[in-house]
Structure formats: structure tokens, C-alpha cells
Structure 1
Amino acid sequence: MGNWTKRLRDCSIHLDNAINNYLEPDLFRINFNNFMQTARTVTFLIQKEKNILQQRFDFDSWYQSYQTRWKTDSIMKWAVDTRNIIEKQADIPIYSKLEVKLALGYRSEEDVNLEIQQDDLVFLGIKGLRNWAKKNLDQYNYKDSAIWIGRSWKEPKLANMDLVSAMQYVYARLYECCMDLNRITSEKNNFTIKTPDEILCEFNITHTYQYIELTNFQTISLKTKSYKNEISFNDKKILENRVCQGGKLSAELKVEFERIFDQFNHISTKQELLDIHSDLNLLNFQCEGSILHFISFFDENFKCIKYIPYILPNQLAKYIFWRNIGAFVKVLRPKYIICSDEYYVRSAPQAREYWRNTMIQGEYLSTRLLSKIHDDEFELLGIRYGIQNEKLLKPINKEITTLLLDINANNEAFMYVPILKEL
């Protein structure tokens, strides 16, 4: 493994740290500087091995092609100049812009913009912003609402590009170069290095903003865990340790699970995708008496590209969770979305009435598939089973529904609005 690969990993770590501290001005500045300085040394280490590499292939011609492209690339040229300024002079003149809103529901379009003095807040981290909100925004203590605080970092020479996007662009060019060199020299990595797309995806989804709950002025952290890919359904070992209402799975239940698992390799339609997840959810509920709430994204070949189980303790958490799922959709661009949950069907609310204050008409174990049909038109396929007190209603009745949704989901699927706007 070449030294350039190790240094590229260092770049990914500094970029990760900058992203994770995007809302903390000092820490973001430190990691930005570290990234820019480390990125420049990746090519130094490649050139250091020039004589050895030239003996294995035509290194001069290969490296010249990258140098030619980078010299005419305005962002790569900016990166070189920035590194020289940071190393020999001082920090470059980056600046931050803040936006503060009152978040009231599922639709971000309904948020209320709050006028603030930028100079008072621009250098505050999350703790300082919380203290500021507690002192200045307590008059906005509406029911089930939160303060949304968003930040962006800019540099005058980069026009409208965010600094993290510029860093990711530099990392992408270095990544391409290093992986190409590893391919030519048959070098193998001893560790995993994040791809540029993975880094940009993580940045766009969750790191540029924060919600502060108005009841206690704490930042909101949802109980979610995200996986890149769904569980491997070919692994029979998961059935050996699987419990069922406190005991082991019976032979009959194992056979049923294996039947469902085998079908995951042969999905060819969206209806099959929905059916198999519905069958699995029903079987899990029968085994455990509860449901695992999750949302999964699938590509056009029915391959799972993201799997997110979650727990939402209150109404405000629901608002923010589905907003964040909308951000995932914007970046990952799934073709199909599967939602597994337990929900109430309620009567339609009167004017200015909360949905949760209306009459409950039924409780269901639900599996839904959401996909886009045309511009601003969506299909919601659903399979549900009636439940009461964590038990299936007898006789077990499989209900199949199809809903056509507009961009505002003007029916019981209103919580999917943040998703529809990004599909």
C-alpha cells in the first residue's frame, strides 16, 4: 500500500471532522486548515516515489495527465493557493451565514423566519446558540415546535460553493488519482477509505443545521440507527439465535422465515418488493408482539441502498424525523421506499384541530411502498393488518390499499410530504 493512500485516508478523517463540527466555528476552522494542508501532501508523496514508479510503468506521462487537468481546474488551483496562504501567512477569510426559523410541522415551507443580528451569533457554537435561543426566543414556545438553526461556510473566491463542497471536490480529485495509481501498481488497501460520494451524502443530510426543542432548549437527538445496506437474508445463522416471545423459533417458523428470505433474491416488481416486506413484518410481529419501525430505500433494481430503523418518542420528533428522511431522499435518490410502522387511522380534523385529537378509527400493522409516477404524482401501495393491544385482530384480515398522492399528500399520508418533494 502506497504512502499516498495513507495520506488520502488522513484527508478523509480531517474532512469528516470538519463535517462533524460544521456548526462549531473554531473546530470547523481547525479541521478545514488541517484538510487543506494534508491534501497538498498527497501529491508530494506520489512524486517522492517517482523513480521507483517509473520503473514499473510510464509514470511521467500518467502523472502529467493529472497535472494538466488540475492546472486548468479553478477549484484545484484555489486549493493550492489556499494551502500556501494557511501554511505561510494566516487563515483565509472564510465567513459564515446563519438562518434561524421556527419549525412548526412536517412542511419546512411553513416555518417562520426569525430576524436575528448575524454579528451576535456568527461565532457561537451549538452551546452558545442554545443559550441565545433560551434568552431570546422563549416567546415562541408553541406546542410541538422547535427552533431550526442552519449555518453555511463560504469563501469569497468560491462564489456560491460551500466550503465543505469545495473540500469534497478536492478530495474527489485526489481519490481518483490515488485509486488509479493503486490499480496500475496493483496496490491493495489495508483499510477502508470513504468514497467522495459517501462523504458528500453525509454532509448534505444532517450536518448543516440543528433543531433546538423549545420546552427545554436542548438540541434534539432522534433514536435512529442507519445502515448502508439491508441485513443479509442469505445468512441462516440469524435464525439460530432468533427468539420468539422469549423462546426459540419453532421448526415451522424457521421454515417460514427461510421461505421469505429466499424470495429476496428474486424480486422483479414493486408489488413483490412490498409483498415480501409485508410478509416479513407480519411474521416478526407474530413472533415478538411488536413491530420494528424502519424505512428502506431501494434502487431501480430493487437493491436496498439504505436501511433506517427508528424510535420516535413524541410528535415533535416525528416532524423532524420525516424532514430528515426528505434530506436522505434528496441525496440518495431512491426509486422505491418501503415504510414499516404501526399507526392509527383517524377521522379527518376540523379547522385548526390537531390530527392526534381526532377520533381513532383503527390501529394497524402497516407496510407501505412509495414511488413516483409522474411529476408531482405519487403512488402509495399498502398492506395492513388490524391490531389491538399488541395483538392481531382475529380473524387475521389482510387489507390492500392503493393511494394516489399529490405533492402535498392531502390524506392520511401527510407525513410523507418531505419525501414527495424530493422524489
Structure 2
Amino acid sequence: MHPWERRLRDLSQLLKNCGDAYFSPDQFRQNTNQFLQTSRTVTFIIQKNKKEIPDYEGWYQSHVVAPWSADAAMKWAKDARNVVEKEGDLDMASALHVDLITSHDASQDVTISTTKSELLKSNIEKLVRHVLTVLPVASRDAAVLKIRRRWVANSFPSVELVHAMTYVYSRLYEVCRDLAIHLGGELDKSIPDPASLDPISNDVSRTRHIKLGQPGMGKMKFITMNADPNFKALPELQEIKDELEDSGGPTNLREAVELTAKMAKATFNQFGNHVPMLFLFDEKWKQIDFMSTAFADQADKFLFWRNAADRANYLRAFGFVWVGEFWIRNLKDRAGVSFRQLPIVGERLHVIGGDAKDEQCAVTWNIRRTTQDAKPFLEEVKEGEAYSDDGKYFFMFPMVAAMKAARKAGA
């Protein structure tokens, strides 16, 4: 392992420590200060060992200096480290927040904030009762109260502190990964991927949710599972894999969607269903992340897509492809009726992709059955008919906005 890789691994542990100490202000302060100091030493060590790196000046300019020059988060991390070393502790603030979620769009949330934890705790039941009295009955079924603790640096108040540090770690991970490739190898596998340090999976913000249609406190969890080493792909899927390897992979959104659609169709034909899958890609259309989920209700969908948008942002994703089954419901006479109570008039499987340039592409099938007990089969829908009635997939909006924000931050 190269010395800069060891330091990056140290940094991943400090990031985890920040999450573990989120409700212990003094420990959180100590770990945050140490993270910021250590983060800067990763590139210092690379610089110190530049004699080992072929074409060091050109590589460092194109992989560190140029991409970081206008990156607000990386500039903040550099300045914050200087504050910690020369002036003392990073100036931080903490608060407890309550958000009422009723859609995919965070801008539509109703936010109530307080810095007094005892006030928040003593009024949760009262708050729920109040929300139920003012929220339309049809909206209660999918509405969620999101309760969270939030730390921010006063020098970077627009971004939650651990999210900002995860972003910093992600950028340093990219540098070390690309340097390993430049040296003809690969990054040491003991170094955690940024997605494994996701703030939601580590519960660092201590986020809790109350579904108004299903009382009780809950939290989101993200679990990483290893692939089954004994798994053997279907012959058709193996052919698609071989095609992918021969072609070098997709080079644009349409190719990514069409390739995923081939895999989705083969999978559905074999098993009669398809679990939800989300793929994230970088600007060269190389896969950088993968997620799956199981939705219990509409509220779960709101929460999943917001978390996915956060991941797309700090991983600096450029595009995504989503595979999933969905119901088509009759929206007539919707007033006063929750969405899940509307009559189902169809069932579909779709593969839809989008990117930071607002491009969209979709392949959609109707799911048909000859009888109620027969194995389902797919009937492709023309692309122009694949969208919802108003031509929009609302769940895409947070993802696209997050990818655009990442591009803007690093422009």
C-alpha cells in the first residue's frame, strides 16, 4: 500500500468517528478537527512522493489542481484546515430540525427548527396532532415527519457537516483511485468506498421518521451485501455481459438505458418480476454506484429518492438508470382519496435514465397475463407513450438537481 493510501484509509476511520460522535459535541469537535487536518495530508504525501509518479506535474494538474480550483467544498476544507491549525477549533453550530415531507421535491417541505432539544422532545406528539389537523386527509397517507440533528460549519452553513466531509473524502478517494490506475495498479481494497460511508447508512445525522399514515418512529438503513461467489448468470445475461465487456460499456445515456433494458427484460422473462435497481454513472458512463430497495408505501419512495439524490451529489454522478415495476392508477375523481386507494388500471416495467444535461431516455413494457395465475410476460410500449400522463417522472427531479449541483460546485 502506498503511503497516501494508508493516510486515506486513516481518513475514512476519522469520518466514521465523526458519525459515531454526532450526539457528543466535544468528541464530534475533536474528530472533525482531526478529519480536516488529515484530509489535507493525503495530497501532501502524494506531493512528497512525486518522484515515484511518472509525468507527475501533468497528472497532478489534471487530477487535483484543475478539478479542485473552483470546487467550493474543497476550498472550504482547505480553509477550514488552516483555521484548525492556526486559530483553534472549527466554528460549528448544531440544531434539531423537523421537516414535513409530502412529495419528492424538498422545496415543498414544511420546516420547523429549534435549537432546544428538550422543547422538541416534549412537543413531538403535539406536533403530530397539529399536523394531522391541518394536513388534507388525502395527503396524510404518504406524509412523513423527518426529525434530525444537524451540524454545520459556520463557514459552510449550506451543507450538513458530515455530508461535506463525505464529499471531501469522495474527492480524495477519486484522486487516489486514479493515481493507482496511473501507476498501473488499483486502489487497495481495504480502503472504504465513499458509498459505504454514506451519511444515511451510518445514521450520522440521527435522522428519524414518523409516517403519519403509520404511527411509530423509524429510520432509514442502507445495507451493503456481497455478491454470491457461486452465482451463475442466465445464458442470456452472460451474453449481455460479454457484449458489455467487448464494447467497453456504454458511452451515452441511450446506450446505458438500452443495455440495462436488455438485462431487465432477460431477468423478468426468467423470474416473472424485477426488483428495483438504481445505477449511477460518471461522465464517461462508467458505473460508480448501485442500489436496490423495497418500497412499503409512497412515503418510502419520497425518502429513497432523496437519499439517492444525496449519494449522486457527493459521488459527483453524471447520469443514472433506474429499473422498476410500477402500477398505473386511474387519477379521475382523486379529490379526497389517498394515492394508494386509487384503482389500478395497469402494470408496467420500465427502465428510465437521466443525466445532468436534462437528457431522458426510457424503455417501458406493459406487464400482461393471459390468466390471473399465468406467468406474466412483457409487451413493449412505444417511447412516446412511456411517460406519465403529463410527460414527467417526478421522482427524477431530486436526482437531476443533485447531479447539476455537483457539476456546478466543481465547475
TM-score by length of 1: 0.65
Looking at structure 1, the residues matched to 183 and 399 of structure 2 have their Cα atoms a distance apart, in angstroms, of: 44
* Structure 1 partner of 2:352: 369
SS of the residue corresponding to residue 239 of structure 2 reads helix
Report the 3-state secondary structure (helix = DSSP H, G, I; strand = E; otherwise coil) of the residue aligned with 2:368.
strand
Task: Choose the corresponding residue for 1:398, options 379, 390, 393.
Answer: 379
**Whole-Å separation in 2 of the counterparts to 1:379 and 1:55:** 46
**Residues 390 and 16 (structure 1 numbering): CA distance in 2 closer, same or farther, change over 3 Å?**
farther
Counterparts of 2:164 and 2:301 in 1: how far apart (Å)? 33
Single out whichever of 265-274 and 315-324 deviates more from structure 2. 265-274
Distance 1:145 1:21, change over 3 A: farther
Residues 353-368 of structure 1: pairs in structure 2 closer than 5 A: 353-364=337-348, 366-368=349-351
Deviations 1:139-191 (A, max 9, x none): 32433222123554344566767644775698799989999999999999866
Match of 2:142 in 1: 144
1: CA distance between counterparts of 2:264 and 2:356?
Answer: 26
- TM-superposition CA deviations, 1:323-342 (whole Å, max 9, x none): 22233333445454322222
CA contact (8 A) 1:380 1:403 kept: no
1:42-53 maps to which residues of 2 (within 5 A)? none
- Specify which of 399, 407, 410 is matched with residue 419 of structure 1: 399
Q: Pairwise CA RMSD of aligned residues?
A: 5.2
1:10-409 aligned at under 5 Å gives the runs 10-19=10-19, 22=22, 25=25, 28-35=28-35, 76=78, 78-83=80-85, 93-114=91-112, 116=113, 118-121=114-117, 133-134=124-125, 136-141=127-132, 142-156=140-154, 163-164=161-162, 192-194=190-192, 198=194, 202-203=198-199, 208=205, 210-214=207-211, 215-221=214-220, 225=223, 238-239=231-232, 254-265=234-245, 266=247, 267-268=249-250, 270-350=253-333, 351-364=335-348, 366-372=349-355, 378-387=360-369, 391-393=374-376, 396-403=377-384
CA contact (8 A) 2:267 2:274 kept: yes
Q: How far did 1:291 drift?
A: 2.1
Q: Compared with structure 1, are the counterparts of its residues 271 and 383 closer, same or farther at alpha carbon in structure 2 (3 Å cutoff)?
A: farther
CA distance in 2 between partners of 1:163 and 1:307 (Å): 24
| 138 and 23 in structure 1: CA distance in 2 versus 1, 3 angstrom threshold | farther
CA distance in 2: counterparts of 1:19 and 1:261, whole angstroms:
38
Structure-2 separation of matches of 1:132 and 1:16: 31
Relative distance call for 1:391 and 1:36 in structure 2 (3 A) is same
Compared CA separation, residues 8 and 359, structure 1 to 2 (3 A) = closer
Distance 1:31 1:275 in 2: 45
Secondary structure of the structure 2 residue equivalent to 1:238:
coil
SS of match in other structure, 2:265: helix
Q: How far does residue 304 in structure 1 lie from its aligned partner after superposition?
A: 2.1
**Relative to structure 1, is the Cα distance of residues 160 and 191 closer, same or farther in structure 2, using a 3 angstrom cutoff?**
same
Listed one character per residue, the Cα deviations across residues 79-131 of structure 1 (whole Å, up to 9, x for unaligned) are 35525776xxxx665322443221122222222223x4x3412xx8xxx9667
Q: What secondary structure does 1:221 align onto?
A: coil
Provide the C-alpha distance between the structure 1 equivalents of 2:171 and 2:7, rounded to a whole number of angstroms.
Answer: 14
Contact 1:278 1:383 in 2 (8 A): no
Q: For residue 135 of structure 2, what is the aligned residue in structure 1?
A: none
Structure label with greater radius of gyration = 1
- Deviation for aligned residue 1:278: 3.1
Tell me, yes or no, if the aligned pair for 2:209 and 2:218 is still in contact at 8 Å: yes
Aligned counterparts of 1:212 and 1:391: Cα–Cα separation in 2 = 39
Q: Distance in 1 between matches of 2:301 and 2:327?
A: 14
- Structure 1 unmatched runs, 5+: 58-72, 243-253
Tell me: CA distance 1:367–1:221, structure 2 relative to 1, closer, same or farther (3 Å). same
Post-superposition offset of 1:311: 0.9
Is the 2:102–2:108 contact (alpha carbons within 8 Å) kept by the matching residues of 1? yes
* Higher mean C-alpha deviation, range 184-193 or range 258-267: 184-193
- Could you list the runs of 5+ residues in structure 2 that have no partner in the other structure? 54-74, 133-139, 404-411
Deviations 1:215-245 (A, max 9, x none): 44413325x54689xx89xx9x632xx6xxx
> Tell me, what secondary structure is at the counterpart of 1:13?
helix
Where 1:113 maps in the other structure, the secondary structure is strand
SS at match of 1:280: helix
SS in 1 for 2:395: helix
Q: Give the 3 Å change call, closer, same or farther, for CA 334–30 of structure 1 in structure 2.
A: closer
SS in 1 for 2:383: strand
Q: Which amino acid aligns with 1:139?
A: H
Q: Which structure exhibits the higher relative contact order, with contacts defined as CA atoms closer than 8 Å and separated by 6 or more residues?
A: 2
Q: How many residues align?
A: 371
- Helix, strand or coil at the partner of 1:284: helix
Which one-letter code corresponds to 2:231 in the other structure? I
> Residues of 2 paired with 1:418 and 1:43: CA distance?
32
Structure 1 CA distance, aligned partners of 2:152 and 2:308?
26
Q: Do 1:341 and 1:367's aligned partners in 2 also have CA atoms closer than 8 Å? A: yes
Match of 1:218, SS?
strand
CA deviation digits over 1:48-89, x for unaligned, max 9?
xx9xx99999xxxxxxxxxxxxxxx88646535525776xxx
> For residues 169 and 420 of structure 1, do their structure 2 counterparts lie closer, same or farther at Cα, with a shift above 3 Å needed?
closer
Deviation at 1:416, TM superposition (A): 3.2
Work out whether residues 200 and 220 of structure 2, in 8 Å CA contact, stay in contact via their aligned partners in 1.
no
Alpha-carbon contact 2:275-2:324 (below 8 Å) kept: yes
Q: What amino acid is the match of 2:16?
A: D
Contact 1:336 1:369 in 2 (8 A): no
